[in-house]
Amino acid sequence: VLQKARISELKDHLDGEVTLQGWVRHHRKSGKIQFIVLRDGSGFCQCVLVKSEVDEQIWERARQLTTESSLRLIGTVQQNPRNQNYELLVKDLEIVHISEAFPITPKEHGIEFLMDRRHLWFRSKRQWAILRIRHTLVKAIRDFFDERGFTLIDSPILTPTAAEGTSTLFGVDYFDEQAYLSQSGQLYLEPAVAAFGKVYCFGPTFRAEKSKTRRHLTEFWMVEPEIAFAHLEDVMQLGESFLKHLVQRVLENNQFELKELERDTTKLEAALQPFVRMTYNEAVEKLKKLGSDIQWGEDFGGDDETMLTNEFDQPIIVHRFPKEFKAFYMEPDPEDDRLVLGMDILAPEGYGEVVGGGERASSIDFLNEQIAKHELDPEPYQWYLDVRRYGSFPHSGFGLGLERAVAWICKLPHVRETIPYPRMLYRLKP
């Protein structure tokens, strides 16, 4: 019987007859043979037409095919003895649509040209591979928290307050009020953790990043776990097992895609070893030795993170930062009142921060002071302070930026390739 198959399933149909539906990636004619590389979203397959074995009509029909034409092919599944790939020996062919000249060709295109055609660009093998790895990561993220007893709590996107500083807020007219697009779901998870014990949210977040860097999008996806009665040490450990789980999943599921991206997987395997840990103080000392002009009390710049992470094969957990440049909600370090119990995880190979988090302040007096220091209007934060009014408790969490994780795992030069439709300064289309 004739079965509709996807390219990824061809191994189950060896020697059988199937119908494939998809688009022409390449078409090559060589005398009495035509080769069509078909893609159907699940993979790529070489389809072979032998002139002596098909009707004249079918042969002629195939000759009209252009790149990205859509079609249906019927044939027998074979395994190529040379490379073990599954191929289709074509018996019949139905053209669905002859494509106009496809603008993205194998020649070099500039990045703006490709970004303007993002909706077509992700048909290319490399972009396809990246977005498939992103998909694996999304599933791995959900599985990790679901399997550990976390409850998903969706946080709102329209919010009245800042979570991560007022300089990157996107304002929205909300009837007669001022609203902002959410920078982080954290403030909404902290009350929820008192109801569910372990929670997470996973969704788009927004920051009006006014500089062009290879690490910043204005719309990015963040997963944020939050745990009751957890301290800094607990979330450092959780962050480490979490990142290892993500790398492991991609190694298990995406060898084909990693190969397409020419990713050196030994570098990823190194991330399964124990992570490096250092305090902010130690990191600053190390950076000075490496030639950075960072001063104690300053946040790391992108270059500092690159310098630091190039020193080790494993991710680095940096903890206990100066209060000054961290968010208002962080718990002070009981051993040094200049510091807060925050932690960042920096990905190796120059990638830098992928995770940010730490222990949350549990004293209402301290938080009130911090809100004043950060010149925030206390009124819209009153509901958030209720967490500290009704059975306050230590709690901790973190956020992982999905696109930063994809960029590192795929070893991409820029986060713009990690999301289907990137949003950045000067980039709102398509």
Please, what is the minimum distance in Å from the beta carbon of residue 356 to Mg ion?
Answer: 3
In the complex, the smallest distance separating the C-beta of residue 3 from ligand 4AD, rounded to whole angstroms, is 43
Q: Length of the chain in residues, anyone? A: 430
Q: How far is the CB of 236 from ligand 4AD (least distance, A)?
A: 13
Q: Cis omega before residue 430 (within 30°)?
A: yes
The region, left, alpha or beta by phi > 0 then psi within -120 to 50, assigned to residue 318 is beta
- Residue 45 or 354 with smaller CB distance to ligand 4AD: 354
CB of 394 to Mg ion, least distance (A): 21
Q: What residues make contact with ligand 4AD under the rule CB under 6 A? A: 163-164, 184, 186, 207, 209, 216-217, 220, 222, 224, 353-357, 397-401, 403-404, 415
Provide, rounded to whole angstroms, the least separation between the CB of residue 341 and ligand 4AD: 12
| Smallest distance, Mg ion to C-beta of residue 294, A | 16
Q: Pairing mode, if any, of strands 86-97 and 3-4?
A: unpaired
CB nearer to ligand 4AD: give 44 or 408.
Answer: 408
For the bound state, the minimum distance from the C-beta of residue 222 to ligand 4AD, rounded and expressed in Å, comes to: 5
For 281, 284, 308, 334, 371, the CA distances from 297, given in Å and listed in that order, are: 9, 9, 17, 18, 20
Side-chain half-sphere CA neighbours of 172 within 13 A: 13
Q: How distant, in Å, are the alpha carbons of 2, 113, 116, 117, 121 from that of 110? A: 44, 5, 10, 11, 12
Place of tokens 């298990």: 252
**In the complex, least distance from residue 217 CB atom to ligand 4AD, rounded to whole angstroms:** 4
CA angle 114, 118, 121 (to 5 degrees): 70
Total number of residues binding Mg ion (CB under 5 A)? Answer: 1
Residue 304 binds which entry of Mg ion, ligand 4AD, none, CB below 5-8 Å type-dependent: none
What is the Cα–Cα distance from 316 to 346, expressed in whole angstroms?
5
User: Which residue, 220 or 275, is less far from ligand 4AD as judged by CB?
Assistant: 220
Closer to Mg ion at the Cβ: 75 or 352? 352
Any idea of the CA torsion for 351, 109, 121, 266, to the nearest 10 degrees?
-30
How far apart CA 253 and CA 317 sit, in angstroms, is: 26
Chain positions 1 to 20 lying near Mg ion, rule: CB under 5 A, are none
Pick one of Mg ion, ligand 4AD, none as the site partner of residue 186 (Cβ within 5 to 8 A by kind): ligand 4AD
DSSP three-state, residue 117: coil
Q: Which is nearer to ligand 4AD, 67 or 218 (CB)?
A: 218
Binder of residue 184, out of ligand 4AD, Mg ion, none (CB less than 5 to 8 A by kind): ligand 4AD
The binder of 313, among ligand 4AD, Mg ion, none, by C-beta within 5 to 8 A per type, is: none
Q: Report the alpha-carbon distance of residue 123 to residue 351 in Å, rounded.
A: 26
Q: Which is nearer to ligand 4AD, 43 or 401 (CB)?
A: 401
Give me the residues paired with residue 75 across strands.
18, 90
Report the distance separating Cα 140 and Cα 250, nearest Å: 9
Choose the one of ligand 4AD, Mg ion, none that binds residue 129, judging by a C-beta under 5 to 8 angstroms depending on kind. Answer: none
Nearer to Mg ion, 75 or 401 (CB): 401
207 contact choice in ligand 4AD, Mg ion, none (CB below 5 to 8 Å, kind-dependent): ligand 4AD
Q: Which of 239, 342, 348, 356 binds Mg ion (CB under 5 A)?
A: 356
Closer of 280 and 398 to ligand 4AD (Cβ): 398
Cβ atoms within 10 Å, residue 106 = 8
Provide, rounded to whole angstroms, the least separation between the CB of residue 337 and Mg ion.
22
| CA distance linking residue 95 with residue 69, whole number of Å | 8
Q: Is 239 in the site for Mg ion (CB under 5 A)?
A: no
Residue span binding Mg ion (CB under 5 A) among the ranges 256-264, 299-307, 354-362, 409-417: 354-362
Question: Which helix (H) or strand (E) element contains residue 188?
Answer: helix 186-196
Residue 322 vs 356, nearer CB to Mg ion: 356
In the complex, which residues of this chain contact Mg ion (CB under 5 A)?
356
